[in-house]
Chain A
Amino acid sequence: MSGRAFGTQTPAAPPREKEHVLPTEAPITPSPFAEKVRGPVGRSCDKIDGVERVTGTKLYGADLIAREADLHAKVVRSEHAHAEVVSIDTKEALRVDGVLAVLTAEDVKGTNRHGLIRRDHPVLAKDRVRYRGDAVAIVVAKTEQAAAAGRDAVKVEYRVLPTVESIEQAMAPGAPHLQPGGNVMGGRRIRKGDADSALADSHVVVSETFRTQTVDHAFLDVEAGVARWDGELLTIRVSGQWVHEEARLVALALGLPVERVRIIQPAAGGAFGGREDISIQIYVGLAALRFAGKTVALRYDRAESMRARHKRHPMRIEYAMGADREGRLTAAKVAIYSDEGAYASTGIAVCRKMSSHATGPYRVPHVRVDVFGVHTNNNPTGAMRGFGATQIAIAYEGMMDRLAAKLGVDRVEFRRANLIRPGDAVTTGQVVPSPTAVECLEAVLRQYGSKSMPSEPLPTHLRRGWGVSVICFGMGYGDGFPDASRARVRIGADGCVEVYSGIVDVGQGAENVIAQVAAEEMGVGLEHTRVITADTHMTPESGSCSATRSTFFAGNAVRLAAGELKEKLLDAAGELLCVHPNELEFRGEEIRGRFDEGLCCSLGELVAAARKRGYELEAEALFKPRTICEDFETGQSPRAFITYMFGAHVSQVLVDVETGEVRVERHVACHDVGRAINPEAVRGQITGGVVQGIGMALMEEVVYRGGRILNPGFTDYILPTVRDVPPVECVVLESNDPLGPYGAKGVGEPPLIGAVPAVLSAIYDATGKAPATLPCNPERVWGMLTGS
């Protein structure tokens, strides 16, 4: 049948002849830095721990458990989405063979609370549970099986309270209050010009209500790790995204001075924001405190991981946008209701990311935005790749397509005419330095146009279409939130350059970036550098691995520290060679006279001599650029973010209009990343982000009923496989960020943000119906097309 367009329907006799084995070319636009590439910066150096990762010797949390665990802990979780805890009976559990202890709120000596912005999340709930993932007790036992049996034997008596399942229920009059302040946790707003009048005066206005779904990070490496208390120091080895903050949260919750909590990051199998909120660190730490000298282990299985962890905010976005007769945007009026779940997590910051990005990379003179974070009895929602900028991009790009259609103009032309250009401001009023939105759009269209659309006639039930998106993303925490990174660079005993940074590598390659920066700056080969990261007692604080900030922040701190170390080395060399240090310079692994070629010593000789004379071969630096807090009335800030990244995508889909199945045939993504310190790692971030975006657009969705997750596993939480995605065509647009290390910006989040609206736009183009509810799984697309 000609209609077999979709993955599972492989032809009965697969063709045996060799198809083309060549990869799709992943082009890079000519790099403005091409001639400058000398050292490791700008090169696709192999992953520095690649060998360990491909041979299975890298140790992740669960691997530590297999090797070191003495005791095992399990968490007792609420059976209800909302209830009072009447009593906890541990007698039965303590009788289980092998069970050593059952810990409840009473055993927590500190504040018993955590939370990245508000400390509102009990470690162990004492009197009330607010979602099904809430923890009420911890069982410690000699074996994992015993701990699990003990967990199942803990009897908790609850008085069930009504469940608040949705934003609508939470805001209805008379809804039970989930937090003392009520269910509206707070929010953010934009008041820029007069949106109401401007909309009234507009030539055309389009309104739409978008609904985005709950998304799970679904990193493969589920939460697992070990802790040990030696009477002095509590050492926790669990992967997170910000070791120093985790130490503070553990210390606070458990009542220890922060110096006595050491967090060491094992290898992390992905994160995507999902390790930003604390996960098992406090629980396993609490259990370890009870059993000094023993290594206590805790791991979740997939279902517990999905039940316990925060999620991407599902949102209802009511968007109205207008344009004038000439096709210029006039105004945007946006109301956003965001399901915060049971606890605050980073929700308020996500609200701000929504408001500050409400009109994306477009010039909109009048903007009114209200974002409301609303508590429900679903999982807390917090950071996930894109951090609110993902959801709002679905809305503003959806509006661009709808408005273009209503105006009867070409959707690409319409975007071109309204994208910000040098001197224009984004939603926050910030005039973005060197906006590259237009360049990204042109580059992505060029790449898409380089191959022609398949011309074979389609069977009647299939439709092909393509869509486009342009997005922007403010890098770093922004809005005046303290955002800093420290690094230390020293010459080790063996002469290697050692880089110490608190930044964690969750798999994206942060360690490579800092190694490459340090090697470049010190003029040594990558093989002569060693990175030590993410250990609170060894590495200086570098902030979180989030907000697409690692390259920019950690990279800059390392660069500054290396620069200082070089100065120290030149001082020492001057003394050794009896010349003024200004007359010397680094050349590769040598120091030479600027004017006198005869003056020369190798880095090795210099280090040996300097060490002998007691020079300190170490330097630390702080990178702390400032942003400006928004005006809370208007949401305006002249410098909300340090820098902006831009991206544009084109997606081509085939839609089966009878079944609603959608297949992405091509996807092209162009991103301005500043300087690509490691181009291959950049492409890896783009392709990976795009595939997560396709997952969000088409299939991923956490389904709740009464606060219970109905699909807490990979059987029904559907992730894209290799058969669901085309080879992503990446166009890396390099530019020079004046503040970035070697001009680099970053790349982590934008690719996902751009991918989702491009796929939706393609579905619109193919079918004539514009999706407003995600994900576009077969049933939903069918429903949209048939009006069912």
Chain B
Amino acid sequence: MGDSGGAWHLSCTVNGEPVEAEVDPRITLLTFLREHLLLTGTKGACLEGECGSCTVIVDGRPINSCLMLAGQAQGCSIQTIEGIGDDKKLHALQKHFIATGAAQCGYCTPGLIMAAKAMLDANPSPTEQEFTTAIEANICRCTGYESIRQAIRDAYREIHG
């Protein structure tokens, strides 16, 4: 709450780790993640909410980090692609994105995986419509989408047995 001169103290949680930073609250969350925390897995491509490349999960909901101000992340819990799996242990979505060939150039991939993860986390039994809705605002210029939908369905089956 209240005023601040120039830099601001931002406290939030990123991938489960507390983050304390002095930042200009007027930069976007995308810039904060990429340039201050060097979490460059989250991509920017349009900076106008039209492509979903910058999708991260904030307090359980997928949002475009290019349209959220860093200050608006105050107190929030943020999850990025770096926080859900790594080369030692991939998240089911990551595994199936590889298996179905859903990542060609891979630029859209982190955003898509986060959009899909938010849906799978929130919805224990998605319909075919809901699988599609989850990624309807994520542009992929390479794959033609079906391998992506397939990867999400496969991940869902793996997670829910």
Contacts and interface: CB of A to CB of B under 8 A. Distances in A.
A269 B50 contact: no
B79 interface: no
Contact of A50 (B40, B43, B103, B133): B103
A404 interface: no
Interface string A708-721: 00000111000101
A46 B99 contact: yes
B127 A60 contact: no
Interface residues on A, range: 35 or more
A742 B82 CA distance: 39
Contacts of B51: 220, 714
B72 interface: no
A355 interface: no
A19 B128 contact: yes
Nearest to A64: B40
B104 A508 contact: yes
Contacts of B109: 53-54, 56
A21 interface: yes
A26 B101 CA distance: 13
A692 interface: yes
Contact of B127 (A15, A57, A692, A728): A15
Given A54-B98, A714-B51, A722 B106 contact: no
Interface in B112-133: 113, 125, 127-130, 132-133
Interface SS of chain A? loop
Contacts of A719: 139, 141
A302 B48 CA distance: 10
B144 A219 contact: no
Nearest to B42: A56
Contacts of A721: 136-139
B141 A218 contact: yes
Given A15-B127, A218-B141, A713-B50, A269 B106 contact: yes
B101 A507 contact: no
Contacts of A23: 146, 149-150, 153
A47 B144 contact: no
B147 interface: yes
A15 B133 CA distance: 13
B29 interface: no
A369 B120 CA distance: 56
Nearest to A53: B106
A760 interface: no
Contacts of B21: none
Interface stretch (A173-181, A286-294, A575-583, A680-688): A680-688
B46 interface: yes
Interface size class of B (residues with CB under 8 A): 35 or more
A565 B98 CA distance: 31
A690 B144 contact: yes
Given A67-B40, A721-B139, A725-B144, A54 B106 contact: yes
A220 B132 contact: no
Contacts of B145: 687, 691, 722, 725
A503 B46 CA distance: 28
Contacts of B95: 54
B38 interface: yes
B149 A727 contact: yes
Interface in A235-265: none
Given A66-B35, A221-B107, A688-B104, A56 B130 contact: no
B25 interface: no
A713 B46 contact: yes
B28 to A, nearest CB: 13
A302 B105 contact: no
A302 B127 contact: no
A219 B106 contact: no
A13 B110 CA distance: 30
B142 A56 contact: no
A220 B108 contact: yes
Nearest to B143: A688
A270 B8 CA distance: 37
B45 interface: yes
B99 to A, nearest CB: 7
Contacts of B47: 301-302
Most B-side CB within 10 Å, residue of A46, A51, A53, A506: A53
Given A62-B44, A66-B38, A219-B105, A687 B87 contact: no
Given A687-B146, A721-B136, 4 more contacts: A47-B98, A691-B143, A725-B144, A725-B145
21 contacts: A19-B127, A21-B128, A21-B157, A23-B150, A54-B97, A54-B106, A54-B109, A58-B106, A66-B35, A66-B38, A220-B43, A220-B139, A220-B140, A267-B106, A270-B142, A272-B141, A506-B105, A507-B104, A508-B142, A714-B51, A722-B138
Interface of B: 34-35, 38-48, 50-51, 53, 80-82, 85-87, 90, 93-95, 97-101, 103-110, 113, 125, 127-130, 132-133, 135-150, 153, 157
